[in-house]
A = this chain, B = another copy of it.
């Protein structure tokens, strides 16, 4: 059970897009070059973000992506679920129903205990992701990245933005 690499890409792309000047767009090509990943495949992740309303896109030259909401309103969970889907990590196939001792027509009341516990763990994971916003990530990155690198990166983004 391992998340796709697209999740990592999407998170880093959102972090970059958060530093973009208002009403400017950054192309897939620029984002792909910045992160050193294949442009065409990264485009799939960005499409997922677009469909989820996390980023906004414009066609034509000087087109590309920008965030669709302020970074404070975007949680890690929003981005992860946009790429990975929002299905629970544990699927209950209700194998207790195959118990040969069951009387015919026996009907269960609610999901089985195993599934409930696994779903609680899943919810703990989601809850943590929900509690961290993109704005908080930017703040953390600002603290741990050297000031000159932070500045030159911002310049690079501004130069490529259209």
Contacts and interface: CB of A to CB of B under 8 A. Distances in A.
How many copies of the chain does the oligomer comprise? 2
Interface residues of A, number: 59
Given A76-B121, A101-B156, A122-B125, A106 B149 contact: yes
A2 interface: yes
Nearest to A14: B114
Interface stretch (A29-37, A45-53, A55-63, A64-72): A29-37
A121 B129 CA distance: 6
Describe A's contact surface by its main secondary structure.
helix
Nearest to A101: B152
A15 interface: yes
Interface in A1-23: 1-5, 7-9, 11-12, 15
18 contacts: A1-B2, A5-B91, A7-B90, A8-B95, A11-B118, A35-B98, A35-B99, A76-B121, A101-B149, A101-B156, A106-B149, A112-B141, A113-B137, A113-B140, A117-B132, A121-B128, A124-B124, A124-B128
